[in-house]
Amino acid sequence: MGLRLGDTAPDFTADTTQGRIQFHDWVGDSWAILFSHPADFTPVCTTELGAVARLVPKFQERNVKVIGLSTNELKDHAAWVDDINRVNDVSLGFPIIADVDRHVSQLYDMLDSEQHDATNVVNGIPFTVRSVFVIDPKKSVRLILTYPASCGRNFDEILRAVDSLQLSDRRPVVTPADWQPGNDVIIHTKVSDAEAKQLFPEHKSLTSYLRVTSLAE
C-alpha cells in the first residue's frame, strides 16, 4: 500500500546539490514540499524547476522549504541547474536530491508502472512520475499530487493548497472550490451552530451543513 494522507513522511539520508541531508532534520520546524522529476535535462522539468525558483520567496513567507528530486547524479544536476537558470532567468537556490538508486522514489511510491509506460523503464526500474508531497512540521503528509511525465505542474495551485492547509490549521474552517486567499470560507462541520454564532457572527447558512463566512486574517 502506498503512502497516504496523514502518514508520517518517510525519513531518509540523501545527497543533494546542497550537501548530504537527513530529511526530517532538514525539514526541522518548517513545512516542506518534496517534488520529483523523471530525469535531468528534460524539457518539462526544466520549466517546472524554474517556476519553483521564482516562487521560493512566497514559500519562505509561509515557512515552507522546497526540495526537488531527480534520479541523475550530482554532476548532472549541476549542469542541469545551469540550464534551468539560463532558460528561466532565475537563480535556483533550493536543493535537488540525487536519487540515483531510486531509494527515495520507492519510499514515497513515486515510480511509474511499466504497464503505463514501458519506454520509461531503466535497468528494470520505472522512471519517477511527477509527484508532489506537502509535509507539515510534524512530518505528516498533508497533500499528495501525482502527474504523468508529460504534464507540467501548476505550482501556483500548490502554493494555494498550502495556504488552505495552513488556514485550516489555524481556524476551524475549510475552503471551497476555487478558493483564493481573502475569499469566503466554509465553517467546519465540527463547529456547532451556537459556536458558529460566537466565532463568526456574520456568517450565512446556505444549507444546514454549508455555512460560509468572510475571514479577517
Per-residue pLDDT of 62-78, as tens digits, reads: 999 999 999 899 999 99
DSSP E strands, the chain? 13-16, 19-22, 31-36, 64-70, 96-98, 121-122, 125-126, 130-135, 141-147, 173-174, 185-187, 204-205, 211-213
> Which domain, by its residues, includes 45?
13-153
pLDDT of amino acid 2: 80
In a domain, 162, yes or no: no
The mean per-residue pLDDT over the stretch 194-214 comes to 96
pLDDT band at 6 (very low <50, low <70, confident <90, very high): very high
Do 100 and 131 lie in one domain? The reply is: yes
| pLDDT one-digit tens code per residue, 148-171 | 878 899 999 999 999 999 999 999
Q: pLDDT grade, residue 79 (50/70/90)? A: very high
Question: CA 25, CA 83: separation in Å to the nearest integer?
Answer: 30
Query: Which residues have a catalytic role annotated?
Result: 45
Vertex 40, ends 97 and 127: CA angle to 5°?
Answer: 80
Same domain, 140 and 175: no
On average, the pLDDT of the chain sits at: 91
Q: Are residues 200 and 141 in the same domain?
A: no
Instruction: Establish if 158 belongs to a structural domain.
Output: no
pLDDT at site 148: 82
Q: Report the candidate in 136, 46, 58, 131 with the shortest Cα–Cα distance to residue 92.
A: 46
Does 160 fall in a domain?
no
CATH code assigned at 26: 3.40.30.10
**More confident of the two residues 49 and 117:** 49
**Close Cβ partners of 4 (under 8 Å, ≥ 6 residues apart):** 141, 144
Q: If residue 105 lies in a helix (H) or strand (E), which one and from where to where?
A: helix 103-107
**Which of 120, 153, 186 is at the close of a domain?**
153
pLDDT in tens, 88-118: 999 999 999 999 988 999 899 887 654 434 4
The span from the CA of 120 to the CA of 100, in Å, is 15
pLDDT at 130: 80
Question: Given this model, what pLDDT does residue 127 score?
Answer: 61
* Position 38 confidence tier, pLDDT thresholds 50, 70, 90: confident
Q: What's the structural domain count of the chain?
A: 2
Q: What is the CATH number of the domain that holds 180?
A: 3.30.1020.10
**In the predicted model, what is the mean pLDDT of residues 206-210?**
96
Residues 92 and 20 in one domain: yes
Q: How far apart are CA 69 and CA 104, in angstroms?
A: 9
* Residue 63 and residue 139 in one domain: yes
Q: Is the overall model pTM greater than 0.75, yes or no?
A: yes
Residue 126: what pLDDT? Answer: 53
The DSSP call for residue 135 is E
> How far apart are the C-alpha atoms of 100 and 60, rounded to whole Å?
28
Count of beta carbons in the 10 Å neighbourhood of residue 174: 14
Within this chain, do residues 111 and 194 fall inside the same structural domain, yes or no? no
